[in-house]
Structure 1
C-alpha cells in the first residue's frame, strides 16, 4: 500500500492576496479568502480588500454574501466597518429578494461588521421586506422604529416614508398612502420627487388618474421639481386607460417644464401609447421630435414604431423604418420581425412576409410566436398546405416547439378554409399525445362542425373538452346552441343552455338571442317568451335581434296584436329598425289579412328614410292580391319597375298568381315568357300556379 500523500502546501500569503484581488469570479475569490483565513488565521487580512470583495459579491453574487459574513467572526483581527458596509449588504439582500438573510445580517451587524444600524440600515431592511412583498413584516418593522424594538429609538426620515408609501401602493392601499402623504409635513418631513412619483404611480395604477394628475400640478406649488420619471409614470397610466387627451396634456406640460425634459424612456412611452390608440400622426410627430433632440432610437424604440405602423396598415412605412435600423447597424430582435411578418400578412403581402420569415431563420432568432404568426397569415391567404407544413417544420425545430396558440391557429385556420376533418385529426392527435390545448382550439372545431350540421361530432368534441379539464366559455356554448337550433334539435339546445348555467358560465346576449330565435322557429312561443323574461331579469336589455325573433314568432302564431305591441316597445326604446325588421312585421300583418296596416307601415318606413327592398314589395303585392285589391297590387308592380328594382322569381310568381286569380291568365303566361327571356328559372311554384289556373278557368287563349 503506497504511503499517503501529504496535503499540498497552500499558496503563500502574497499569492493568495493577489488571487483574491485578480480573480474575476467573486465566488472563487471568496474561496481564496476562506483558504487564507483557515491556513493563516494570524494574518490580518487588509480591511479594504474585504470591503472590495464584499461589494463585488453584493453586486454579482449576493447569495454568497452569507459565506463572507460567516467568515468574518473567524478572523483573529476582526475588521470594523462603517454603516456604509452594512448598507451594501442589506441593499444587496433587498435587491435579491432575500429578506430573511437581510434580517439576520441586520440583527448581527455589531458582531459581524462592528457597526450599529442607523436609520439608513433600518430603511434598507424595510425595503427588503417591501420588495419581497412581506407587507405585514414591513408594517411591524416600521411601527417598531419609534418603540425601539430593535434596541434603538429612531425617528423615521423621508426615505422611510417613501418606502412605506411604495409598500401601501404596491398592495393597492392607496387611500392609506394618500393619508400618510398628507401627514408628512405635520411630522416635519417635506415630500420630495420620489414621494410624489411613487404616490402618483400608485394612484394611476389603481384607477385614480385624476388624483395623480392633481399631484403633478401640486409639485411646483410645493417647490418640488418633477422629473422625467414622474411624467413617464403618468403618461404610461394615461395611455393604459385610453385617455389620449390627458396624455397629451401631460406631454405638453412636460415640454413646457423648464426643469424637466423627455428622455428616451419618455419617447418610448409616447410612441407605444399613441400607436396602441391608433394616433399614428401624433406618433410620427413625437418620433421627429425625438430625432431632432438627438435621442438616438434603439431597437426597442424602432420596434414600437414598426409595430404601430404595421397595425395601421402602413407596412411600407414599417419597411422603411426597418431599412433605417439595418443601415444604423442595430441588432434586430425577433419582436421586430414578428411585427413585420404579421403586418405584411394582414396587408395581403404574403410574399414580403416570407422574406422576413427567411431572415429570422438566417439570424437564428425564430421563435414559436414567429411560426404562429406566419401560419395565421398563410391560412388567411388560403395557403393551407404551406401553413400545415410549418407545423412539421416547427416540430423539427430544436429551438422551439408548438404551443397551445399553434394548435389553436392550425385548427381554426383549417376549419375556416373548409378542412374540418383535417382539423379534427390535429385536435385528436394533440389531445391523445398530451399536448396543451386551449378553449380556442375546441371552440373553433365545435363551431365548424355546427356550421356543417355535424352536431353529433360537435357534441363529442365538447364532451372531450370537458373530460380534458378545459372549461368551456360562452363562445363554445353559443356555437353549440346555435348548431342545435339550426339542426332543429331544440331540446338539445336547451340542454346545453342548462349545462352552461350549471357550469358557472353566464349566458350572453348572443346566447339568449340564439335560443329565443330557435324556440320561435320551433313554434315554442311560450318558452321563448319565458326565456325573454328571464333575460330581462338577469339585467340584459333585448336588442333588435331579440325583438325580431319574437315578432316573427308571434306573427307565425297568428298573434299579430302582440307582435304590434312589441313593435311599439321597439319604437319607444328608440332602437334603429332596419328593412328586415319592417319586412317581418309587414309579412305578419299581410298573413293575418291586415294588408292596409301593412301598407301604412310601408309608408312610415319611407318617411323614416328606411328604403323598402324587393322583399317588401313582394310581400305587400302578395298581400293585396290575397284580399282582392288587384289595383293596389298592380300599382306596387309598377313601383318596382319604376324604382329600377329587378324582379326575382318570387316577384314574378306573386304577379302571375295575382293575374291568374282574377282570370287574367294570358297576361300571366306572357310574364312567364318575360321570366324565361331574363334568364330566370321558373320554380315548381310557377308551374303550379299556371296549372291551377288552367284547371280553374280552362285552356289559356293567347
Structure 2
C-alpha cells in the first residue's frame, strides 16, 4: 500500500469527515458510550497483532441508543472482539485513518498499543513511518507503556541495521512537531538503549551526540550502559570523551559510573588512574560507596602503597562499609609483598572478627610469608589450622610448603607433604614434581632425583620444564654424555627441547672447552627452528672470550645484528667483560663507546666496573681513572665495587694521595665503605708498611659495627709479622678466634712463620697442633715455612719429622726445603745425609739451585773448610 501523509500534516486541507473529527473528536462513532462487556473474557492480540474474535459475542450491536454509559478504555477493548474493524472502516483502513485513531487514544496509551497491533497487518505500513513514531510518542506519555515503547524501539533498531541514528532522531522530532507532541526525553533515551542493546555502539555514540546537540540529556543509567559498551570493546579514549561531554552538560554520573572507570583503569594496569578517579569523585562530593572503596583499596594494593590502602580501609570501616573478602585478601597479599608480616596477620584477624571467612589465597599468602621469614613452625601451624577449620589447602598451598622444605633441605617433610597430596586427591602438577627433584639434588641425593624423574617420565608427567632441571644438573656436573642422552630421550618421547635446553648444553661444552661441540649445539638449535635468545648469544660470547678467541666473539656479536634479536645489557656486558679478561681493555672501552653512539646502549655501573678493573689489573691506573670520570659524566653512579678497584690500583701504582681523594669522594656521594673497601685500604697501607693507618682503619670499621673478614685479619697479621711485631699479631689472632672467626691455612702459615723467626718455638708448635686439630692440612707453603724455620732455629729433628709427614701425604718437598735440610745436616757434620738428600732431589726431578751447590761445597759454611768437607766425602 502506498504510504500516505497524515491528515494532521501542516498546510493540508483535510477531508470533511476528518475535519469533523478534529472539531468534535469522538471515539470512532457518533455515540459517546459503549455497550457493557460480555461475561466471557476475550483473548488479547495474537502473535500477528490481530484481535481474535470471541464466537460467544457474535451478533451483538456495537453502537446505538441502547449503548450503556461506559467510556472506551483498555478493559472494554478486551471484551469487544471486532470493535476496531467496525468503527475504523474495515478493509478501507489507511495510514491517515490509523494516525487519527492513535491520536484519539493519546490519553489511553494501552488502547493505542492494541489498536496499532490490530491495524499494522491490515495497513502494511513500515516501522519508522509517521504511524510508528506517533505510537512511540503516545506510549512514552504513560508509565503503563514505557516497556512496550522500549521494546518497539529495540525492534526498530534491530530491523533497520542500515538506518542511521540521524534519520531516526529527525523522524521522531518531525513527528512530534507535526502532530503536536511535546518532546519526551524517554523516547530518545529508549532509542539510545536500542542501539546499545543491539551492539551498534558507534551508532549509539552518534545518537548520544545528537541528543546532546538538542539539549536532551540521556538518563544516567543509559549513559552508563553506553560507557560500559565502550569499555567492553576497549575504547577507553572514546569513553572518556563521552564522559567529558556528560560533565560539561552537568551530569557527573553516579557511583556506577565511577566504578566503571575505576574497573577499566585497573584492567588496563593503571591503578594510579583508578585512585585519581576515586579522589576526584570524593572532591566533587560524590560520596563513595562500599564498592568504590573496595576498588580504591585494590588499586592502592597494586601500587604497593600500603599506607594508602590501610587508610582507606580505616575510612571505610568508619563509614560503616564492610570491606569485601577480596579487599582483605588484596591488602593481606600487598602486605606480604611489602614484607610486612605483622600487618598481614593483623588484617587476617580483623577479617575474621568481621565475620568474613578467610579464603585459600589469603591463607596461602600468609603461609608463604612465614616460610620466607624462615619460620616453618608457624607456617605448618597455619597449614594445620587450614585443614581443621578451613579453607582446605589447595595445590598452591602444598607447592609453597614443598618448595620451602626442599630449599631448607628437609626432604623428609617434603616427601610427607607430597604423599599427603596423593591421599587427599589434591592434583599433582609439574611444579610439585620439579620441587621434589630440585630438593633431592640440593640434598645431594641425585639417585632419588633421577628415580623420581624416571617415574615422572613413565607416568607421562614429565615435560620440558622438568627435563631441563635434570639436564641443567647433568651439565653443571660436567656429565655431557648423560645430558646428550637425555636430549635424545626427550625427542623420542615427543618432549621438545627448548632454548633453555640448548643453552644448558652449550654452557656445559664451553666449560669443558669443547668449543666446536658448543657451536654444533647452536647450529642444531637453529636447524630445529628454535630462536636463540640474548642468553644464548651471551653464552657464545662469554665462552669464546674466556677461551681467548675474541674474533669469534666479535663474529657472534655481528650475527646478532643480522638476526631479529635486540641485544640487551647482558650481551654487551658479556662482550666487554670478555675483552677485559683477555687483556684487551682498551678495545673494550672503544667497543663501549661504539655501542653507546651507534646502538643506543645505556651502560650500567657493571659495564664500567669491568673496564675499570681491567685497566687496574693491567697497571693502567690513568686509564682506569679516566673511565671513572667518563662514567660519572654519563650519569652512571659508581658503587663500592668501583672504588674498591680504584683503591687497589692506586696502591699498586704507589699513589697513596689519590686513595685519600677517592675515599673523600665516597663520603661526598654518600657511599658507605663496606668490608671489601676496608680490606683494600688496610691491605694497601700494610704493604706500604704503614701500620698506623692500617690499624686506624681497622678500629674505624669496628666502630661502624662491621665484622672484619679473615682476609683483613690476615693482612694485618702479615703486616705485624713483617715488622717483627709478633705480639701484636698474636693479639689480633686471639681477638679473631674469640669473635668466633676461624683461622685459615694462610693465616696459620703467617703466624707459624713469624713465631719461628722470633724463636717462639713453643707458640709455633701449639699453633701447628691446633691447626691439625681443626682438620686443616698443611700445604707446600706451610711445609716450606715450617721446615725452613725449624732448620734455621736448629730444630733438625722437628724439621725432619715435618719433612717425613710431607712424604706420607704425597707432597713433594721443594728446593727450599731440601736446601734448608742439607744446610742443617752440614752444620751437624752429617755430610752423608746431606749428599743423600741431594741425590733424592735429583731422583725426584728437582734441579738444585746455586744456593744448594754453595752449601754442598762449603762456600757458605764458615765452620767447614774445603779440606774437611772433601775428606768426609
Normalised by the length of structure 1, the TM-score is: 0.72
For 2:860 and 2:321, how far apart are their aligned partners in 1?
109
For 1:672 and 1:365, how far apart are their aligned partners in 2?
65
Structure 2 CA distance for partners of 1:240 and 1:573, relative to 1, 3 Å: closer
In the other structure, the counterpart of 1:399 is: 564
The superposition leaves residues 319-344 of structure 1 with CA deviations (integer Å, 9 ceiling, x where unpaired) of 55555665566776544543443344
For 1:622 and 1:219, how far apart are their aligned partners in 2?
69
In the other structure, the counterpart of 2:348 is: 181
Shift of 1:306: 4.7
2:188 maps to 1:30: no
For 1:578 and 1:265, how far apart are their aligned partners in 2?
42
2:282 maps to 1:96: no
The superposition leaves residues 442-485 of structure 1 with CA deviations (integer Å, 9 ceiling, x where unpaired) of 33333333334333433333343334333333333333333444
The superposition leaves residues 372-410 of structure 1 with CA deviations (integer Å, 9 ceiling, x where unpaired) of 12212233444333222212222x235234333223212
For 2:772 and 2:340, how far apart are their aligned partners in 1?
59
Structure 2 CA distance for partners of 1:328 and 1:538, relative to 1, 3 Å: same
2:421 maps to 1:254: yes
For 1:662 and 1:50, how far apart are their aligned partners in 2?
113
In the other structure, the counterpart of 1:5 is: none
In the other structure, the counterpart of 1:444 is: 610
The superposition leaves residues 345-382 of structure 1 with CA deviations (integer Å, 9 ceiling, x where unpaired) of 34544444323423554537233332112212233444
Matched position secondary structure for 2:562: coil
Maintained 8 Å contact 1:87/1:120:
yes
Q: Gaps spanning 5+ residues in structure 1: where? A: 1-10, 21-25, 43-48, 74-82, 109-115
Q: Gaps spanning 5+ residues in structure 2: where? A: 1-155, 166-196, 215-221, 247-255, 282-286
Matched position secondary structure for 1:219: helix
Moved more, 272-281 or 483-492: 272-281
Maintained 8 Å contact 2:405/2:413:
yes
For 1:467 and 1:72, how far apart are their aligned partners in 2?
50
In the other structure, the counterpart of 1:556 is: 722
The superposition leaves residues 547-580 of structure 1 with CA deviations (integer Å, 9 ceiling, x where unpaired) of 4333333233232333344444456567555554
- After TM superposition, list the pairs within 5 Å mapping 1:52-67 onto structure 2: 61=234, 63=236, 66=239
2:382 maps to 1:215: yes
Matched position secondary structure for 1:370: helix
For 1:570 and 1:71, how far apart are their aligned partners in 2?
72
The superposition leaves residues 252-300 of structure 1 with CA deviations (integer Å, 9 ceiling, x where unpaired) of 4433334x33345655666678778887666556656666666574x65
For 1:117 and 1:426, how far apart are their aligned partners in 2?
58
Shift of 1:545: 3.5
Structure 2 CA distance for partners of 1:301 and 1:60, relative to 1, 3 Å: farther
For 1:318 and 1:223, how far apart are their aligned partners in 2?
45
Equivalent residue in structure 1 for 2:580, among 403, 415, 423? 415
Shift of 1:413: 1.9
For 1:287 and 1:698, how far apart are their aligned partners in 2?
78
2:532 maps to 1:366: yes
In the other structure, the counterpart of 2:648 is: 482
Shift of 1:589: 3.7
2:397 maps to 1:224: no
Structure 2 CA distance for partners of 1:501 and 1:127, relative to 1, 3 Å: closer
For 1:488 and 1:159, how far apart are their aligned partners in 2?
65
For 2:279 and 2:701, how far apart are their aligned partners in 1?
62
Structure 2 CA distance for partners of 1:257 and 1:467, relative to 1, 3 Å: same
Shift of 1:585: 3.5
2:807 maps to 1:640: no
The superposition leaves residues 407-436 of structure 1 with CA deviations (integer Å, 9 ceiling, x where unpaired) of 321232233334444334434544666632
For 1:306 and 1:263, how far apart are their aligned partners in 2?
19
The superposition leaves residues 648-696 of structure 1 with CA deviations (integer Å, 9 ceiling, x where unpaired) of 4434544565577789999989988987886515237865996855999
Count of matched residue pairs: 657
For 2:782 and 2:430, how far apart are their aligned partners in 1?
62
Shift of 1:18: 11
Structure 2 CA distance for partners of 1:539 and 1:58, relative to 1, 3 Å: same
2:753 maps to 1:587: yes
- After TM superposition, list the pairs within 5 Å mapping 1:199-214 onto structure 2: 199-200=366-367, 210-214=377-381
RMSD (Å) for aligned C-alpha atoms: 5.5
2:161 maps to 1:16: yes
Maintained 8 Å contact 2:227/2:239:
no
Structure 2 CA distance for partners of 1:342 and 1:257, relative to 1, 3 Å: same
Maintained 8 Å contact 1:595/1:623:
no
- After TM superposition, list the pairs within 5 Å mapping 1:210-289 onto structure 2: 210-232=377-399, 234=401, 250-258=417-425, 260-263=426-429
Matched position secondary structure for 2:619: coil
- After TM superposition, list the pairs within 5 Å mapping 1:32-431 onto structure 2: 32-34=203-205, 61=234, 63=236, 66=239, 91-97=263-269, 123=294, 127=298, 130-131=301-302, 156=323, 158-159=325-326, 161-166=328-333, 169=336, 174-197=341-364, 199-200=366-367, 210-232=377-399, 234=401, 250-258=417-425, 260-263=426-429, 297=463, 306-307=471-472, 310-311=475-476, 313=478, 319=484, 322-323=487-488, 326=491, 334-346=499-511, 348-362=513-527, 363=529, 365-394=531-560, 396-397=561-562, 399-430=564-595
Equivalent residue in structure 2 for 1:519, among 674, 679, 685? 685
The superposition leaves residues 600-641 of structure 1 with CA deviations (integer Å, 9 ceiling, x where unpaired) of 7667767777656666666566666766x4xx4477458737
For 2:589 and 2:723, how far apart are their aligned partners in 1?
41
Maintained 8 Å contact 2:617/2:649:
yes
The superposition leaves residues 301-322 of structure 1 with CA deviations (integer Å, 9 ceiling, x where unpaired) of 6556655654565555555555
2:665 maps to 1:470: no
Maintained 8 Å contact 1:618/1:651:
yes
Structure 2 CA distance for partners of 1:348 and 1:274, relative to 1, 3 Å: farther
For 2:805 and 2:336, how far apart are their aligned partners in 1?
71
For 1:302 and 1:15, how far apart are their aligned partners in 2?
60
Equivalent residue in structure 2 for 1:530, among 692, 696, 707? 696
Structure 2 CA distance for partners of 1:28 and 1:654, relative to 1, 3 Å: farther
For 2:408 and 2:578, how far apart are their aligned partners in 1?
33
For 1:107 and 1:626, how far apart are their aligned partners in 2?
89
For 1:398 and 1:527, how far apart are their aligned partners in 2?
56
For 1:681 and 1:352, how far apart are their aligned partners in 2?
45
For 2:518 and 2:419, how far apart are their aligned partners in 1?
38
For 1:18 and 1:691, how far apart are their aligned partners in 2?
123
Structure 2 CA distance for partners of 1:691 and 1:158, relative to 1, 3 Å: closer
Maintained 8 Å contact 2:258/2:277:
no
Structure 2 CA distance for partners of 1:232 and 1:590, relative to 1, 3 Å: closer
Shift of 1:218: 1.2
Maintained 8 Å contact 2:409/2:442:
no
Matched position secondary structure for 2:385: helix
Larger C-alpha radius of gyration, 1 or 2? 2
For 1:15 and 1:491, how far apart are their aligned partners in 2?
90
Structure 2 CA distance for partners of 1:65 and 1:227, relative to 1, 3 Å: farther
Matched position secondary structure for 1:256: helix
Shift of 1:193: 3.6
Normalised by the length of structure 2, the TM-score is: 0.60
Maintained 8 Å contact 2:791/2:799:
no
For 2:624 and 2:198, how far apart are their aligned partners in 1?
60
